[in-house]
Chains A and B, each alone.
Chain A
Amino acid sequence: MIKRILNPNQILSLLFYTTVFLFFATIYKYHLYFKEQQQLFLLTAEYFVNTVKVPGGFLNYIGEFLTQFYYWPIAGAVIITFLIFIMQSATTKILNKIKKNPNLFPLSFLPAMFYGVLLCNDFYYLAGLVGFCISLWISVLYYNLNNRTIRFVFGIILIPMLSYLIGGAYLLFVVLISIFETIQIIKNGSKKINLLIIIIYLLIAVVFPLLLRQYFTITILQAFLTGAYYKLEVVLPFSLVLLVLSYPSLMLIYRYVTIQSTEKRKGLLIFSIQSVIIYTIGGIILFKSSFWGASNFVAYDNFARKGEWSEIIEMAKKENPQDQLSLVYLNLALSKTGQLGNQLFQFRQTGTNGLVLNDNNNNYEPFLVGNELYYHLGLVNVAQYFAFEGMETTPDHKKNVRCIKRLAETNLINSQYNVALKYLKLLDNTLFYSNWAKEKMLYLKNENKINKDPEYGLMRNLKPRSQYFFTYDQVDVILRICMKDNPKNIRAFEYLMTYYLLNKDLKSFKSYYSLGKEALTSNVPKSFQEAVIYIISHQVDQLNSSTIPGFVTADVVNRLNQYANIFTSYPNPKDLLEKNFKDTFWFYFQYR
């Protein structure tokens, strides 16, 4: 049935686009959330004018407009799939203009697929894909113009126009139309005029962006590429150069490689082999790329942003966090669900850097993590610091929804209403955060409403009252002050004790354990019991009812005895202990 309805090209297309859609809608959806949070698209006339007036701004505006719909990953997947389809179909049309070569149809997917892979890198904008689509379709238009004069006029108008509006992809247009004119030279022999046309095109293509530098404070690279393609504006992404160069290469293949098969089956086989090769290449590039490694982190980050703590724990149960930032989120999730002291060593811990952040944080992500961590610890000013610095460290130097929302919140909690209003006004002009902003505006200058709010009220209660400064290497000191200011702050106490456990600092654990006497209203967490009994076991000759504190359960005591037996009975007990006791503080203390 399918065979009768669909030809091989259509089957390949169907398979390809279904794969693309499913990939972005499912496997890659957390990245889409992450990207959406990294921009702030405003629906105001001023934002439109300010964005569009700079080179490449038009394309940026379209890209940001579309990217905001990543808010719903399904919509994001539809947009990406559609754009990839647009790019591939234009590529097909251009290649067919060189020579109709139906057996090489799978090759037409290569550039679009390549861009799809690039979009998995957070540094590449969706706008770039739009830019290439525009450039390709305008090239198709050019290819369809038979009159040389009209083509020339079209070319000399469109090169600067595209350069200004869509930036870097205009170079693809210049390459494609220059190739077209070269073909005309070969075909028609009218060398001089066509050669002159090509030279004029190239001249405009080089001079126009340089002229833009007279009016905008942009570098030479930015004048040619603009900021619509790659977040780091000081870097020329080699992938984009490769993408542009792929077109002349494909044209050459289309022109000179002929796969003719009179046998239908043989033709289908060649077609299938090409398809498989292209799929495989795409898959390998994607999964071998460094950015793939960030997949888990963005998922953790998404759950943390939404406060879906159980999701984080469930995810970690399937696979232990592979990086320290994800581990910070996991430990925060454990704390938020009241399980930090009990479940801490159920997961592989790597030291205090997996609990709080170290100061090696020059990238954007650690600031996001710090923002969430310290916010939930009640250190509102520190969270504000991380949110603000997070905004300043974004690779493209743009404001983003994520940090602006948090800054609005910290300023509300700190009663800095005018600043909060400034941020809320921004969010009020977005498509998806306007309602949130309007709701938060009701909190402005309404102390009572803030105090009664379950989250903001709690934050105000947890805020330290003593004057001190935040430093990465003195988090324990800050947590101790938090405890001093608010002895019932159980989260601060758990973090403080966990900090000492992960730091294997039993002396401090012992010294400051009493800080938690008001905070610990229920059972003492398992890991803390393990640490206490471990300390006592090294202080007394024998563990018995008079030396074991009442809060240490019999199960913990029994397990310590078993642990000690194995430890003393085997010359190399690590493997055996790991099998049975890797979820204990004792194993972490001795072997991690």
Chain B
Amino acid sequence: MKRINNFIIILIVFGFSCSNNNNITKLDEYPAIYPDYTDIHIPYNIAPLNFMIKENCTELNIEVSGKYGEIKTSGKAKVLFPLNKFKDLLFKHKNDTLSVKVTAKINNKIIQYKSFRWFVHEEPIDSYLTYRLIEPGYEVWNKINISERNTTNFDDKVLADNNLIEGSCMNCHIGSKQNPSKSFFHIRGPNGGTIVAEGEKLRKLNTKPVGSYANAIYGNWHPSGNYIGFSTNIVLPATHTIHDKRVLVYDTKSDIIVVDLNKNEIISSPLVSRNDKFETFPEFSADGRKLIFCVSDSVKLPEDYKSLHYNLCSIDFNEKDRTFGKQVDTLINARVKKKTVSEPKASPDGKYILFTWFNYGTFPIWHREAKLCTYNLHDGSIDSLPEVNNNNYSNSYHSWSSNSRWFVFASKRDDGLYGKPYFSYFDKNGKAHKPFLLPQKDPEFYDFTYKSFNIPELFEQARAFDAMDIERIYNDTLSVVKLKKMEE
């Protein structure tokens, strides 16, 4: 059967090629393919990069070739590569280049485009990507789920679905790069809490002890896996009335806490929970000795929202005796540049911090000008990553691959509204390369998807829990662990 199929494909390709050879128009430009996979850097283990030509294409013929083999395939307007052949070809071309030749019949004209390249890297991307699927709305939500997608093929599974937990909101599924079985996320609602997963073991934490003004919101793991740094925020949205601006999301109060997962205690420092400052987005350095965070002067909101400028700061953190340093260091003074920093993420190799840089405020996804930048922890230089930010829409919600060679981020570059996961190769010299969109089995998938891929997060391992486990722990009202807040 397989032979017959191959024979038919050969016949089609051969027939197509032969019958039109004399009428082929050669263009010295790249085809307008979607997703844009022209001249990109890819890991050898990525799922097939299926793509399509949207405009009036009736026949498509593709040749992917390299030193050690090739794939020829065809379609009407879409290219769907055979999984195994694709993976085999990429595997053979680690640290090498593949050339992709596209010939298309568009408006009854056969056009052969300039070939583009795929630079295949031997450093793999983490095999699992989790994200929250949510409509990019204002304040209300309906269906939300946190899903896990295998980046090396097209398998996916639902990790948590709010359909099973009384429609409650869920957010911020964050993993520990150094402890790949660990992750956490929040479930709001009457039976909610912060779900901490350590392998198959799930715990539900109440992060709002008596006297606290808010639950834990944004957080990141300490590399030891024993602590999670959180910010507690009172978050408010406001609807813009002009132009293409939609929502301003701002905090009217925020501080930083650290949760000790072994002792179920909350610790903090007056230096990261000042009344005259908004402290948010905590992150630990790769060695765990610094707590990195964003901080702004508190201003009157929403009136003075344009004065909200968050600097990138750090403070020492001693894991053994659970103490904070005596002073806060400013890594990036964004306020003097009338800019703001958010979502710092330390690369697992300890060399860089990837962060979002935009005009004002704390929540970048509705800021068209939000760009990703890196801060070099060795020399303090900032790179504006031009290859990554070459568009006029928000790029944010980034996460490193465990080998620090790739990062994923949510970008609204396609239409300005729906965030999609893009991957970028980050080479040893600290240069980020042209990003590419998470491939799908059907390249038209994104056209008919009305959800944003929120907070994409890379994982080396698959999560050991699923939506039913989350349903169980949500409904188990007795299982919640109340954290004790320690004196500062």
Contacts and interface: CB of A to CB of B under 8 A. Distances in A.
B137 A389 contact: yes
Given A381-B246, A385-B138, A419-B415, A234 B241 contact: no
Decide if the interface of chain B is mainly helix, strand, loop or mixed. loop
B240 A469 contact: yes
Interface string A317-329: 0000000000000
Interface in B17-49: none
B166 A467 contact: no
Interface in B440-474: 447-448, 450, 467-468, 471
Contacts of B139: 389
Interface stretch (B112-120, B156-164, B276-284, B288-296): B156-164
Given A397-B142, A418-B415, A392 B240 contact: no
Interface residues of B, number: 37
B109 interface: no
Given A418-B415, A419-B417, A388 B138 contact: yes
A471 B238 CA distance: 8
Given A213-B468, A416-B416, A419-B417, A392 B241 contact: no
B472 to A, nearest CB: 12
B410 interface: no
A26 to B, nearest CB: 34
Contact of B239 (A385, A392, A394, A465): A385
Contacts of A478: 241
B239 A381 contact: yes
Nearest to B306: A467
Contacts of B241: 379, 381-382, 464, 467-470, 478
Contact of A389 (B138, B163, B418): B138
A471 B302 CA distance: 11
B238 A416 contact: no
Interface string A194-218: 0000000000000000000100011
A422 interface: yes
Contacts, number: 98
Interface string A456-497: 000000011111111100000010000000000000000000
B240 A467 contact: yes
B68 interface: no
Interface string B288-321: 0000000000000010000000000000000000
B228 interface: no
Contacts of A471: 238
B244 interface: yes
B416 A217 contact: no
Interface string B241-254: 11111101000000
- The range of chain A's interface size is 35 or more
Contacts of A394: 142
A52 to B, nearest CB: 16
A336 interface: no
A384 B448 CA distance: 20
Given A46-B448, A392-B142, A382 B239 contact: yes
B180 to A, nearest CB: 24
A425 interface: yes
A421 B417 CA distance: 12
Given A234-B167, A392-B137, A418 B242 contact: no
Contacts of B248: 469
B414 interface: yes
A218 B163 contact: yes
A213 B450 CA distance: 25
Interface of B: 135, 137-143, 145, 158, 161, 163-164, 166-167, 238-246, 248, 302, 414-418, 447-448, 450, 467-468, 471
25 contacts: A46-B448, A217-B467, A219-B163, A222-B163, A381-B242, A382-B239, A388-B138, A392-B135, A392-B140, A394-B142, A397-B142, A415-B244, A416-B244, A416-B416, A416-B417, A418-B417, A422-B418, A464-B242, A467-B241, A467-B242, A468-B241, A468-B242, A470-B239, A470-B241, A471-B238
Interface of A: 46, 213, 217-219, 222, 233-234, 379, 381-382, 384-385, 388-389, 391-394, 397, 399, 414-416, 418-419, 421-422, 425-426, 463-471, 478
